Structure 1
Amino acid sequence: MHNQLGRRVLTVVSAIGVLFATLMSGTASAHGSTTDPPSRNYGCWARWGSDFQNPEMATKDPMCWQAWQHDTNAMWNWNGLYRENVGGNHQGTIPNGQLCSGGRTGDGRYNSLDAVGAWQMANKSNRFTLTVTDQARHGADYLYVYVTRQGFNPLTQPLGWNNLELVAQTGKLAPAGTYQVNVNAGSRSGRHVVYTIWQASHMDQSYYFCSDVNFTG
């Protein structure tokens, strides 16, 4: 009995140590993400970061549950989903079906974000303002905002470049805490994916964000 209790205590202490190290690592290497509408891993962190071991997540938020089970660091490091030295060749670098993970960047840390299913959606009017949070104030060479074409079904289809339409873009943006883009989704309705590329200015560092939305008109 005492041995079992000792093992449980050791397991809890070890988990706390790993969590603390992860949090410190994420803070030290802070970058950014789309926070409105939230990217998949930022949304999972915002909803469950303080309660990520709650088994109710499996039924209330199953796509986040599978992401937390795959790699908790994908959520603790919600601000680190990027690739370096892409040279602007996003479509040539990121394969179809891997857009939400940035082509399985981070040694596969973010692979769960490519999973097909009912990710929680943010309700948005067809004209909305998208916000990227830049914790490190890298600045932006540009932001590209894509939206899935009407008829694409993210519940059953993996996301590919042919499913997307570029609907907004910016020029160079000075370093700031947030960047905002006005987006017009046209006549789209229902469930869609908003795909954002943020090209940071401090070096050739490209960020890729999938945000799930429900267009209300």
Structure 2
Amino acid sequence: MRKRKFLMFGVAMAAGLVMGLVSAVPASAHGATMMPGSRTYLCYKHSRASTGEIKPTNPGCKAAFDKAGATPFYNWFAVLRSDGAGRMQGFIPDGKLCGGNATVYDFSGFDTARSDWPVTHLTAGRSIQVRYNMWAAHPGRFDLYITNSTYSPTQPLRWSNINSTPFSSVVNPPSSGSVGSEEGAYTWNATLPSGISGRHIIYSVWTRSDSTETFYGCSDVVFDGGSGNVTY
């Protein structure tokens, strides 16, 4: 009987600990581009070892890890501002676009200007199926922007480096897969800008229509005739 009591006490303590951890997770919507992959998503995907640990080998991902540790990797879907309300220039400071000037987790390591982040190979003018993770499902608008000829991978990203008109916009696109999983995603077809080549950033903004929460993200791409393959 004594052993049984101790066993039941241990189970209760474990259950309480799990519930405490669950309740500590922020109750916010989350998401990020998976195709073309955002910096946070591709760094998480490539750096996660079979043991679950984060062990980056890509130089850009390792620099981000060295700055802020593993937390922003495990929370790759949480580059957000709860008070964003769709605001961009004048709200997110120059040089902090990729990290969204986030206040929940430290994504500032992903703002580092460098040319060795994981990159998705694309073809200008072609149509792609965009996949945007829905860690939590909410209505809203998705806008994709492309950097202009002033962009340099080795210089901090500024609003002046991004075309002011999105090349793709969609409201409440269809979704598939399970909410709260890596497989769950919103999908839509987007025609990539034509007449461009070399390295660029596709900048994504997801603005919820049921709150002021807004998500920001950088996807490093190179227009070289590719069809979506990723180089780490």
Q: TM-score range by the shorter chain?
A: 0.7 to 0.9
Letter in 1 for 2:72: A
- Paired amino acid for 2:113: V
1:184 and 1:71 map into 2 onto residues whose CA distance is 34
Q: Which residue of 1 aligns with 2:156?
A: 158
1:167–1:185: 8 Å Cα contact kept in structure 2? no
Aligned residues: 190
Match of 2:148 in 1: 149
Moved segments of 4+, more than 3 Å: 21-30, 51-55, 174-177
RMSD: 2.6
Q: Which runs of 5+ in 1 are unaligned?
A: 1-20
Q: Which runs of 5+ in 2 are unaligned?
A: 1-19, 176-184, 226-232
Give, in angstroms, the shift of residue 199 of structure 1.
Answer: 0.7
Partner of 1:197: 205
Q: How does 1:1-217 map to 2 (within 5 A)?
A: 31-50=30-49, 52=53, 54=55, 57=57, 61-69=58-66, 70-106=68-104, 109-117=106-114, 118-126=116-124, 127=126, 128-140=128-140, 142-154=141-153, 156-165=154-163, 166-173=165-172, 176=175, 177-217=185-225
How many Å separate the matches in 1 of 2:33 and 2:103? Answer: 17
Post-superposition CA distance 1:175-211 (Å, at most 9, x none) = 7341324032211111111100011233111000100
CA contact (8 A) 2:200 2:222 kept: yes
> Which TM-score applies when normalising by structure 1?
0.77
Partners of 2:156 and 2:167 in 1: how far apart? 22
Return the letter of the residue paired with 1:138: H
Q: TM-score, normalised by structure 2?
A: 0.73
CA distance in 1, matches of 2:169, 2:109: 29
Cα distance in 2, alignment partners of residues 28 and 138 from structure 1: 13
Partners of 2:32 and 2:201 lie apart in 1 by 15
Determine which structure has more spread, i.e. the larger CA radius of gyration.
Answer: 2
Greater displacement, 202-211 / 144-153: 144-153
Q: CA distance change for structure 1 residues 173 and 93 in 2, over 3 Å: closer, same or farther?
A: same
Identity among equivalent pairs (%)? 30
Query: Contact conserved, 2:205 with 2:215, CA < 8 A, in 1?
Result: yes
Contact 1:34 1:196 in 2 (8 A): yes
